[in-house]
Structure 1
Amino acid sequence: MLDRRQMVFIDGQNIFYSAKDYFGEEVRIDLPRLIDHFAIGDLKETYFFDSHLQDQDKGDFYQFLKKNGFVVESSTTRYRDHGPEAVGIDVGISTEMVGRAHMDEYDEALLYSADTDFIPAMEHVQEQVGKDVAVVQFEDDVRERMEDAADRFIALDDEVEDFVYDFPER
Structure 2
Amino acid sequence: MTSIHPGQRVAVLADAQNLYHSAQSLHSRNIDYSKLLSKAVQNRELTRAIAYVIRADSPEEESFFEALADIGFETKIKDIKTFQDGSKKADWDVGMSLDAVTLADHVDTVVLCTGDGDFSRLVSHLRHEGVRVEVMAFESSTAEELRDVADTFIDLGDRIETFLL
C-alpha contact (below 8 Å) 2:117/2:144 kept by paired residues: no
1:109 equivalent to 2:110? Answer: yes
Alignment map for 1:42-53 (pairs within 5 Å):
42-53=45-56
Cα RMSD after superposing both structures = 1.5
Counterpart CA distance in 1 for 2:144 and 2:112 is: 15
Identical positions, percent: 29
Alignment map for 1:68-107 (pairs within 5 Å):
68-80=71-83, 81=85, 83-87=87-91, 89-101=92-104, 104-107=105-108
Partner of 1:133: 133
Counterpart CA distance in 1 for 2:23 and 2:115 is: 12
- Provide structure 2 residue ranges, at least 5 long, that are not aligned to the other structure: none
Task: Classify the secondary structure of the residue corresponding to 2:74.
Answer: strand
Partner of 1:121: 122
Counterpart CA distance in 2 for 1:142 and 1:93 is: 17
Question: Could you give the per-residue CA deviations for residues 53-106 of structure 1, whole angstroms, max 9, x where no partner exists?
Answer: 2x335222111211221110011111233622114x1111001100010xx221
Give the partner amino acid of 1:94.
S
> Would the alpha carbon gap of residues 100 and 18 (structure 1) be closer, same or farther in structure 2, given more than 3 Å must change?
same
Counterpart CA distance in 1 for 2:156 and 2:21 is: 13
Partner of 1:153: 153
Task: Classify the secondary structure of the residue corresponding to 2:119.
Answer: helix
Alignment map for 1:24-43 (pairs within 5 Å):
24=28, 27-40=29-42, 41-43=44-46
C-alpha contact (below 8 Å) 2:113/2:136 kept by paired residues: yes
TM-score between the two structures when normalised by the length of structure 1: 0.86
How many residues are paired up?
158
- Provide structure 1 residue ranges, at least 5 long, that are not aligned to the other structure: 166-170
Counterpart CA distance in 2 for 1:75 and 1:23 is: 26
Counterpart CA distance in 1 for 2:123 and 2:31 is: 25
Answer with 118-127 or 147-156: which moved more.
Answer: 118-127
Deviation at residue 2 of structure 1 after TM alignment: 2.1
Question: Could you give the per-residue CA deviations for residues 87-140 of structure 1, whole angstroms, max 9, x where no partner exists?
Answer: 4x1111001100010xx221111101111111222222111x210111111110
C-alpha contact (below 8 Å) 2:32/2:163 kept by paired residues: yes
Counterpart CA distance in 1 for 2:152 and 2:49 is: 19
